[in-house]
Structure 1
Amino acid sequence: MGNHLTQLQIQHLRCWTQGILAPVDGLNIIHGANASGKTSLLEAIYLLATGKSFRSPQLAHCIAHDKAHLLITAQLHTDAYPAPLHLGMQKDRQGNSSVRIAGNPANSQAELTRLLPVQVFHPQSHELISGAPVKRRAFMDWGAFHSNPQFQQIWQRFHRILKQRNEALKKKANAQEMAIWNAEFIQWANALSAARQDYIAALLPELISLVQHMPIIGAFHAHYAPGWKEGQSLEEALLADRDKELKTVA
């Protein structure tokens, strides 16, 4: 049966003072008048799963105007546990948050995110194709996070070394020092690229199968391209772009 919500409770999220929903295992259709809170209900599920809103970068804007915090709780059916899991998340106007799983504090939002994979489609979803590359990287990383147990560690190590390497470039580190930073950067950048490529390779047959039911789309293909020229190693790309990198981080 997989993972699915069996209950959702909302407090102080936008127009929702308090609400409760009992979704079924399958397709749920939500309907109502304009400004009745339909999108906010979907936003609640997304907030619980990711800790973020797809409507506003400022989470304080999601809290009802006369309240200090919002609270979202849920029950989750999952094949990994014999009984429903109780999940909860609270966020206040100061940016503080708490996440609980089965009544216990979670170490991070990622623990809850792994239990509740979600994907949202909204009016800006077209930016996945027409927007900046960061949108497509985020999409791939979301999928790889849920399909590869090692991905979170790879992602974190890559971004840590990226930040440290940029600092070294700003300080105009000598060639010997940069060689050390580059070696670790190349290791984790290649690992990240491989994880993204594996995810796209696994996703492509599913997309092709869906497109076959939508002949109006025509032929479909997805291809993963790393952030450097094909046929060139990352080490070669770093050497070729060293002068440009120094100008970029200066």
Structure 2
Amino acid sequence: MQTFSLVDDQIPALEDGSLAALQDALDQAQELGDVGVVFYDLSSGKGVTYNADVEVYGASSYKALYVLYVCESLVETGQVSLDDSLGTYGGYNMGWQTVRDLIEAAVVNSDNDSFIALRAAFDRVGYEDWIAALGVEDEVALDPMSDFPTYCPRTSAKLWREMSEYLSCGSEASQWLSELLSSTSRSFIRDGIADEQVLVRNKAGWISEDGCYSTCDAGLIDIDGRTYVMSIMTSMPWSDQSSEAVAAIAKALYDVRSSLA
């Protein structure tokens, strides 16, 4: 485990109790699979990281980040309208649903068919250029056999920082996406923090089938005028136990925030 600062040489120090609680949460999760985390304060640039480069099958955690590409790169530039209709893509008959409907289903309800339809429609419009411009093209495994990439907590945190910048731009589409991310049907981070005063905008991923194992969650946490990026990626097979383990890590990370100011 390491603490860091992106803006100066003043590396934060965690209190002994908080450090022990975080290490305990990580240790328990690692009994079930690989674990990596990044958590930092966007204002101070100070954070804590553990195993940040572990590569994990991201499962549905990537849906929000792909939607960021669609909104930031295509909708805001006028290439795509949220009210455009899509028909059959990637072998899926979407019944001419709008881009807006597909995004909402993919983000809020984690609908796989909607996400796959979006990828089939927009991958070739500029997705790889967008990834390259953000400097993570070598870190997001673009597997032609899967719409769900393998990547690491460090990359996840970079993309959620980009998400934060986009959501703060004040456009109609960005405000709408912010509301969707705060209404996701499943959030291990939200479960762990369990505080109605905290705004969590996230996208979790979970799977335990077909040889794929993942229990992940990442997003933005807003409290007392500060925004934090949190990414927790694990190869734990999804279960009630792994869900609780990620929630416990989220709580332990959240509890060190005072040391990052």
Scaled by the length of structure 2, the TM-score of the pair is 0.29
Higher relative contact order (CA 8 A, sep 6+): 2
Which of the two has greater strand per residue?
2
User: Of the two, which has the highest radius of gyration?
Assistant: 1
